[in-house]
A = this chain, B = another copy of it.
Amino acid sequence: MGANRQIVLLRRPSGPPAESDFAARVGPRPELSAGEVLVRTLTVSVDPAMRGWLVDGPNYAQPVPVGEPMRSFGLGEVVRSRDPGFRPGELVVGMTGWQEWAVLAGTDIQRRVDPRLAPPSTALGVLGITGLTAYVGMVEIGRPGPGATALVSTAAGAVGATAGQLASIHGARVVGLTGSEQKRRICLDTFGFDAAIDYRAEPDLAAAIARECPAGVDIYFDSVGGRTLDAALENVAVGARIPVCGTISLPPDGKATGPRFERRLLVQRVRMEGFLATDHLHRLDEVAARLAAWLADGRLRHLEEIAPTLDDAPAALVRLLEGRNLGRSLVRVADPA
């Protein structure tokens, strides 16, 4: 039980985050107070939402303080516990941050992970917030069914790939939007989408969506906003649903302008709904059990890209935000005992 290696935020990025905005630091092992749990971090996550956590502005989360470890979800092993609800050896998920050791209030631990059900890293992905985001957005807001067409943004990404497969499982036709021919092939071959569009290869995205969604878009699962949303809106069918789980294509300062779309929502009777999976954490076990069954019977597939050491986390974040990752982006911090 020595020191605690951490990746801290060195300065607040003015544009897209760079590796140099972060630094490794070795801090002391934190002390445990009553009700707290000491966790040895095994795996941490790299998330699109982190871009928003780094900037100081209106958001659903306070910005990460400069000089503090980067906020992240993590999977860890309970080493010591002063919360009677947790015992050493248990695997748990919580906001560990990018560090080797984390002290979590027992009440802040999101859930226990049973390693017999699925590989524990899935608790940070398809059986975690990623899967919950896809489920709430696609199944509950999108309501896919036979005859419907679901269009999915960042379709080869962890959330998008899961959302698209959930639409398929519920009988809808699924069309993916993604940023390379390689990812387009993954959408078709690995995730079984009915069609996929490489938006970088299409001079007119709205026309490409019209081509692949000839009966219109009944569900647009939106994690990007901006011009992709505009192109989707040009193709929405009457009564379409647009769950919004991210706006990664917009500048983080919130100052973007674009075509007004309230009339489009009216004319096509569209429901557009922003949601955060973190509002639904109390349902994570229930949703994860459902997703685990589809994982087990092969109807739901997932990809992971695991960086080998904690020090690789900033590079993994940059890679993710540039759209170069393939599958759920995770960072290995330590191996299970």
Residues of A within 8 A of B (CB): 58-60, 222, 225-226, 229, 244-247, 250, 254-260, 262-276, 279
Contact = CB atoms under 8 A, between A and B. Distances in A.
A274 B279 contact: no
Nearest to A259: B257
B274 A265 contact: yes
A194 B308 CA distance: 60
A257 B257 contact: yes
Considering the complex of A and B, which 7 residue pairs feature the smallest CB-CB distances, nearest first?
Answer: A266-B274, A265-B274, A225-B262, A247-B263, A271-B273, A256-B260, A258-B260
Contact of A259 (B59, B222, B256, B276): B256
Contact of A267 (B58, B256, B257, B273): B58
Nearest to A227: B260
A183 to B, nearest CB: 23
A237 to B, nearest CB: 13
A10 B277 CA distance: 54
Given A225-B263, A244-B265, A271-B274, 9 more contacts: A226-B260, A229-B262, A244-B266, A250-B260, A255-B259, A258-B258, A262-B272, A265-B274, A269-B279
Contact of A266 (B226, B245, B271): B245
